[in-house]
């Protein structure tokens, strides 16, 4: 039995340490949506319907994407929302050393929105897109690591560092879209056993998908049987963004 299951203890905990929304700081229920109040949940989860093959917004009646299921950069992709407005603000907060709570909140919202789809993928392990050690030391944290741990915890799955970044690369958002695939080509290598696994890659933002695609190629070459991806935000071309 958990301590919070004991009569009256949950009330005492709420009095001593009232639960707060990870995003706005407002009071919320201890059993709420992963640390988010109702208003922030609606605001951050609001998005157009997206294709779960390529991640692009669906056009017209929303039944079919123009990719027609032919995306080969990954086996499936889910997105919380477009990289704009409040979503962009909280993604940037999650990149800071004090942003662990925000990252966990975003991870929980991502899983809540797409739990059924992710469950259908039969994932074995959740894997963060790796940051080079030098950049991590400079920044003091890795948003992808924090997000992956939150996603794994929400799904009840192990979080594994199956990849490492073998060389430092330029920031993708410093490059025009056509140069991004070459920037991350052969930038990753397997860190430990991958063969036979169905993997869920996790990152904060994607634009062209070059980083996710490079990670996926590395994992498949190392023996992964399927590689899916989950990102907090997709920077649609009209908005601009990261990878």
**Nearest to residue 213, comparing CAs of 227, 195, 223, 224?**
227
**DSSP secondary structure code for residue 106 in this structure:** H
Q: What is the pLDDT of residue 1?
A: 44
Q: What is the pLDDT of residue 17?
A: 64
Q: What is the pLDDT of residue 221?
A: 96
Stated as kind and residue range, the H or E segment containing 231 is strand 226-234
For residue 189, the cross-strand partners are 164
Q: What is the pLDDT of residue 96?
A: 93
Calculate Rg over the CA atoms of the chain. 18
Q: What is the pLDDT of residue 127?
A: 98
Q: What is the pLDDT of residue 80?
A: 97
Q: What is the pLDDT of residue 154?
A: 97
What is each CA distance from 130 to 84, 115, 202, 203, 224, in whole angstroms?
A: 24, 23, 9, 9, 17
Cα–Cα distance between 96 and 197 in angstroms, integer? 31
Domains and CATH numbers, the chain: 17-234 (3.40.50.2020)
Q: What is the pLDDT of residue 240?
A: 45
Q: What is the pLDDT of residue 136?
A: 86
Q: What is the pLDDT of residues 207-236, one digit of tens each?
A: 999 999 999 999 999 999 999 999 999 998
At a CB cut-off of 8 Å and minimum separation 6, what does 49 contact?
A: 57, 58, 62
At a CB cut-off of 8 Å and minimum separation 6, what does 15 contact?
A: none
List phi, psi (to 5°) of 49.
-65, 140
Q: What is the pLDDT of residue 4?
A: 47
- Residues in the chain predicted with pLDDT less than 50, given as ranges, are 1-4, 32, 239-241
Cα–Cα distance between 234 and 232 in angstroms, integer? 7
């Amino acid at each position: 039995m958990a301590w919070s299951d004991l009569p009256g203890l949950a009330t005492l905990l709420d009095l001593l340490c009232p639960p707060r929304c990870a995003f706005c700081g407002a009071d919320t229920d201890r059993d709420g949506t992963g640390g988010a109040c109702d208003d922030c949940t609606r605001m951050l989860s609001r998005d157009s319907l997206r294709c779960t093959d390529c991640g692009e917004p669906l056009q017209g009646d929303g039944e079919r994407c123009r990719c027609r299921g032919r995306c080969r950069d990954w086996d499936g992709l889910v997105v919380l929302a477009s990289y704009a407005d409040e979503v962009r603000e909280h993604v940037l907060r999650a990149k800071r050393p004090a942003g662990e709570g925000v990252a966990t909140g975003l991870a929980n919202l991502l899983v809540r929105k797409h739990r059924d789809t992710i469950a259908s993928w039969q994932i074995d392990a959740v894997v963060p897109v790796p940051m080079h050690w030098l950049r991590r030391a400079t920044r003091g944290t890795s948003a992808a690591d924090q997000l992956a741990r939150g996603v794994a915890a929400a799904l009840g799955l192990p979080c594994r560092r199956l990849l490492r970044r073998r060389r430092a690369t330029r920031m993708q958002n410093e490059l025009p879209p056509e140069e991004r695939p070459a920037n991350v080509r052969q930038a990753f290598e397997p860190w430990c056993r991958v063969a036979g696994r169905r993997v869920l890659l996790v990152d904060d933002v994607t634009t062209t998908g070059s980083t996710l695609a490079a990670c996926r190629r590395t994992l498949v070459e190392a023996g992964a049987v399927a590689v899916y991806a989950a990102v907090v935000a997709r920077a649609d071309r009209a908005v601009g963004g990261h990878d």
